[in-house]
Amino acid sequence: MTQIDLIGSSEAADLLGIHRNSLNYHVKRGEITPVARLGKRGIAVFARKDIEDFAESKAVA
């Protein structure tokens, strides 16, 4: 079984070099998809690989 390295919004935003509000913008546009939403507040968690892939795709563009 493969394990997925999960990270929160703050760490995802840091990896991308953007503010958390900008991360939320990309999520709302469907450009980044959280792996899950946790708790009553729906805190988003992301796969580190998805964030790294998104960063790479934006660096090439």
Whole-number Cα distances in Å, 35 to 3, 27, 45, 51:
13, 11, 6, 11
Token pair listed for 51? 């964030």
38: Cβ contacts below 8 Å, ≥ 6 apart: 44, 45
pTM equals 0.87
Residue 60: is its pLDDT beyond 70? Answer: no
Contact predicate 25/13, CB 8 Å: no
2-49 pLDDT, tens per residue? 788 999 999 999 999 999 999 999 999 999 999 999 999 999 999 999
Cα-based torsion angle of the residue sequence 47, 37, 7, 25 in order, rounded to the nearest 10 degrees: 80
Please give the domain boundaries of the chain with CATH numbers for all domains. Answer: 6-60 (1.10.1660.10)
